[in-house]
Amino acid sequence: MHDHPTDLTEYEWPVCVTPGCGRQLWVSEAGRWACRPDEDATAKRLAELPALFRQLDTTAALMRGARRIGGGGSGSKNPPIPPRLEVLALVGPGGVAARLSAIEDSWRTALGWTVAPWRGSPAEAVPHLVKFLTDNLLWACGGYESVGQDVEAVRKLHGECSAIVNDKPKYGNVKIGLCPVVIEDRLCAEQLYASARSFKTACPACRSRWEGEEEWRQLRAAQEQILAEAAGVAA
Ligand SMILES: [Zn+2]
Ligand SMILES: [Zn+2]
């Protein structure tokens, strides 16, 4: 555990190893590397990660299947919406799963355990990775000198995921019609908002974005086309 110097002038109360934490460990926490609050916060973040991952994975799937319609008239197919790269990176092979798996590997090495089994695709692996880390978190906080960097890594990962999942674009409070993006043959139809000052909006549901006058005109044209089609169906 922590080294206790023999020279009393160097004696300092042990502090938590998590970067930026620096809490002094309580007497009841003697023999730990990371403090109890960090353990609790890490457990909570780990518990939330599988649901956050599922939401990002769903968003990524929607982005892959989404197309803008209209804008060119006469049924011309427009290219897919540029995906938000952060989302694809987090659900991809180098994302959440890989980052959790790196922590598992270092813990297994420290414990002298065999390497982790193959856990399948990121979507399949994340719940297993989270379970392993949760089950061994108490050991890590007490027995793994480098646990601080992992507490920090989980905090960052959780922060990146929840920032995207909870990101409701705020582009003002003027209603500018419904989202005209078609996803898997269904209209998104989420309410879009903008401010009166800029040609800028984004859909809170499918995350499509329109920026600048040209894209704004395409958005308008697509919305009008849908209204016209709806009127045609009703007539
Ligand atoms: Zn701490
Ligand atoms: Zn939308």
Q: Tens digits of per-residue pLDDT, 118-141?
A: 999 999 999 999 999 999 999 999
Tokens linked to 149: 């960097």
C-alpha 203 to ligand 2 mean position (Å) = 5
* Residue list, CB under 5 A from ion ligand 2: 179, 181, 188, 190, 203, 205-206
198 with 129, same domain? no
pLDDT of 20 over the 80 cut: yes
Mean pLDDT of all residues in 6-13? 65
C-alpha 18 to ligand 1 mean position (Å) = 5
Mean pLDDT of all residues in 78-105? 83
pLDDT at 147 (0 to 100): 97
C-alpha 149 to ligand 2 mean position (Å) = 38
180 with 204, same domain? yes
C-alpha 11 to ligand 1 mean position (Å) = 20
- Euclidean distance between CA atoms 158 and 201, whole angstroms: 26
- Euclidean distance between CA atoms 66 and 63, whole angstroms: 5
Give residue 60's pLDDT band: very low, low, confident or very high (50, 70, 90). confident
Return the ligand number nearest the Cα of 141.
Answer: 1
Q: Is 118 helix (H, G, I), strand (E, B) or coil?
A: coil
52 with 115, same domain? yes
pLDDT of 207 over the 90 cut: no
Return the ligand number nearest the Cα of 209.
Answer: 2
Query: Nearest 5°: CA angle at 64, between 63 and 69?
Result: 70
C-alpha 152 to ligand 1 mean position (Å) = 10
Give me the number of domains the chain comprises. Answer: 2
C-alpha 136 to ligand 1 mean position (Å) = 17
188 with 103, same domain? no
- Euclidean distance between CA atoms 88 and 127, whole angstroms: 18
Mean pLDDT of the chain: 85
C-alpha 42 to ligand 1 mean position (Å) = 10
194 lies in some domain: yes
Higher pLDDT, residue 183 or 121: 121
182 with 152, same domain? no
Return the ligand number nearest the Cα of 41.
Answer: 1
Q: For the chain, give the percent of residues with pLDDT over 70.
A: 84
The model carries a pTM of: 0.69
Tokens linked to 209: 């974005």
Where in the sequence is the domain holding 50, given as residue range(s)? 36-68+76-165
Q: Any residues with CB less than 8 A from the CB of 23 and at least 6 apart, and which?
A: 15, 16, 35, 37
C-alpha 44 to ligand 2 mean position (Å) = 31
148 with 178, same domain? no
Is residue 99 within 8 Å of residue 153, measured between CB atoms? yes
C-alpha 166 to ligand 1 mean position (Å) = 26
pLDDT at 111 (0 to 100): 96
pLDDT at 3 (0 to 100): 59
C-alpha 165 to ligand 1 mean position (Å) = 27
C-alpha 34 to ligand 1 mean position (Å) = 5
* 138-154 exposure pattern, b = at least 16 Cβ within 10 A, e = fewer: eebbebbeebbebbbeb
Q: Any residues with CB less than 8 A from the CB of 182 and at least 6 apart, and which?
A: 66, 67, 69, 188
C-alpha 17 to ligand 1 mean position (Å) = 7
Higher pLDDT, residue 130 or 195: 130
Mean pLDDT of all residues in 54-76? 65
2 lies in some domain: no
26 lies in some domain: no
Is residue 83 within 8 Å of residue 113, measured between CB atoms? no
**β-strand partners of 186:** 183
pLDDT at 231 (0 to 100): 82
pLDDT tens for 34-45 read: 999 999 999 999
Mean pLDDT of all residues in 10-37? 87
DSSP designation for 206: T
Return the ligand number nearest the Cα of 201.
Answer: 2
Give residue 174's pLDDT band: very low, low, confident or very high (50, 70, 90). confident
Please state which of the ranges 116-125, 131-140, 145-154, 171-180 shows the lowest mean pLDDT: 171-180
Tokens linked to 7: 């020279």
